[in-house]
Amino acid sequence: MKTWTTKQRYATYDTYSKKELDRLQKLQRDSKWHLAYHLQPKSGLMNDPNGFTYINGEWRLAYQNFPFGPVHGLKSWENLVSNDLQNWRYIGSGLQPHAPYSMQGVYSGSGLAQGERQFLMYTGNVRTEDGGRISTQLGAWVEPDGELHELSQPLISGQPNGYTAHFRDPQILERDGRYYAILGAQREDKRGTILVYSAERPEGPWQLDGHWTLALIASVT
């Protein structure tokens, strides 16, 4: 089995050739372990489900994918739709890692129907030279035809004072005309916390409303 270095895991997608990707996808299709029913990626790693939304008469779902190996590497989102939650149709790639806020991966997030458009709120990951990370909460609109428009500015640019960069995976919801985002976070004392933000519009500005501290000591990796 191949041993992946950190450099290989986070190499940009253009490092790989189309020929290599085609080879990996063929290996998966031809494998005797290929699933006949459950969702699975065309190749590589399948990770967290994201952006699960019912909109315009169909269910939309994305999942994190590192297409070049069965390891946690540079993650993007792949998109599927369904009319019945049993039969799913692949509709192409979604959010992709890029500068300046998601160079080392598009992390998890959620979706919300807004009329005929879908709003996505998600975490961008950047790794620093000293091995640390920068977590930024980002937003994007998805048009009815699937066209993606990422917001140029972050929704939440950094974690509050007293928290580490383990600050990610927003769940967005709407209640009584106001928008809320629930995020997992880690305090500097390593305690797990849920942070609650709110805004008048999906694009923000977002404000920190409070937190719920978990009883257990969490070591988030």
Catalytic machinery residues = 48
CB 29 within 8 A of CB 5: no
Rounded to 5 degrees, what angle do the CA atoms 162, 125, 179 make? 70
**Rounded CA separation 20/144 (Å):** 33
- For the chain, the straight-line distance linking the first and the last C-alpha, in angstroms and rounded, comes to 24
Residue 132's contacts (CB-CB under 8 Å, 6 or more residues apart) are 165
Q: Under a CB-based contact definition with an 8 Å cutoff, are residues 207 and 182 in contact? A: no
Q: Which secondary structure element, helix H or strand E, spans residue 90, and what is its range?
A: strand 88-93
- The C-alpha atoms of residue 204 and residue 221 are separated, in whole angstroms, by 29
Two tokens, residue 175:
């209640």
Distance separating alpha carbons of residues 39 and 63, to the nearest angstrom? 10
Q: What's the Cα-to-Cα distance from 40 to each of 1, 46, 47, 82, 95, rounded to whole Å?
A: 21, 7, 10, 15, 18
Which stretch of DSSP H or E encloses residue 62? Answer: strand 58-66
Specify the amino acid at residue 206: W
